[in-house]
Chain A
Amino acid sequence: MSHIKVGLKPEQIKAIQEICKSFNNEPGELINVLHKTQGYFGYLPAEVQEVIAANLNISVAKVYGVVTFYSFFTMIPKGKHPISVCTGTACYVRGAEKVLDEFKRILEIKVGETSADGKFSLSCLRCVGACGLAPVVLVGEKVYGRVSPDGVKDIIKEYQD
């Protein structure tokens, strides 16, 4: 993954320092710190990881190792409308993969990527507890149930303005 400079503003550095401090700069709290920081930034660019490493007094390589190990963490900014397709067991057997393929085809992106215009990003998740509505798709906070491959283009159209 390339090292893209985002140019952190002083207040952003301060925000990360605050998050680290709220976990007492404990190296053992790295995952919690990353979780909270991703909540704040939406993603974890290289410089953000460098700030975290410096404050928790661990190596940047180690932070990057954890970020790349867990699929929850991402170094790519999420789209304006993040799309999550549930591929848990129930959704999967009811055709989630075909739904996912249709999103990939229309948006021309792979799982974990963001569309060129920054509008949509695509990810998979495992079970949102609405198995009765399988297959389930989330766009932002909104839940769509019993989605068929044919219905995918209508969902995208809702956010196309």
Chain B
Amino acid sequence: MSESKGRMQVLQGNEACAVGALAAGVNFFGGYPITPSSEIAEVMSQCLPLMGGRFIQMEDEIASIAAIVGASLAGAKAMTATSGPGFSLMQENIGFAAIAEVPCLIVNVQRAGPSTGLPTQPAQADVQQTRWGTHGDHAMIALAPSSVLECFTMTVDCINLSERYRTPVVLLSDEVIGHMRESVTLPAPGTYRVEPRKLPEEDGSDYRPYCECEGDPLPALSAFGDEHRYHVTGLTHDARGFPTMVKEEVDLKIRGIVGKIENCADELASYEEFMIDDADVLLFAYGSTARVAKSSVRDLRKRGVRAGLLRTRTIWPFSSTRLQELSEQMKLVVVPEMNLGQLSLEVERAVCGATEVRQLGKVDGDLFTPDEIAEFTMEAVGK
């Protein structure tokens, strides 16, 4: 995102997300009301009719994601927004979008669970559900915003990534980020990249919607109604989209949908580094927790601990590279997150015993305080 020409305005995270979606060319929204994400649907229902798009409120979240996948196949840039219980219901057709390789965006404004949990309170407990919620081998792209501005920019990024990788992408927001109001200056149109829907150039008879050989570039996705008349199925399929049980074709398909994302983990990794250069204690955080952790770093510095913060914007695919580099200079990595150990498991795998990793979990529905994280860290370093 380059420099913007817009004016400052006060926006809520969920509103900024909706504006970002429209900026990225989203012209179809299918959704179902759920706290704390409903503002996204409300803003989309208000704006889309005036901007040449269409909004539809479906009968449940299963139907919502089904509708956006259908719309995407018909050439629309399509999204939905939900929270934990709805996200659980969507897993079925997130898997469909993954195997059928259909771009779409799911915004999950996380709240505390399981089940109905605490509908109005924040959590970060859907991190592993995002990665593994649908059955079968697949990969996932998920980004976590930490500010209202990032609700805008990351929604644009998510749409772009879903188009580039032809895959469902999750914006993993949380109740605090979604409902927070901040002064922001949104980037003006033309200053950020919008990935267009790439349409195939070849004519109908020879069209293949899927890769034929390992390492083939991802074919462009034809829109229903153009001349290609191809088949889309949730069954494992060949390059033309027709069901197959041929071992080589099945293997190629599954490795393909995983590899196209996992092999780009380093490329997709995006971090904010804060006071990292001389740090020997690393706080690793994301989403609303990362905002708090930044204050904790300042506190810890005052108290003689050389702390630094690595805030990851990319949750999935999880990249180990930067963490491995940094773990050599750290005597401790602390992972505060609003769950009882989810992304910390990935951190442990990345650090691989090079240094100690401690998870600080919080599941009482409240945001961390800077003190909580600082105290825990002081104790862990033995001060």
**B is a partner of A:** no
Report B's interface with A, CB cutoff 8 A.
none
Residues of chain A having any CB pair with chain B under 8 Å: none
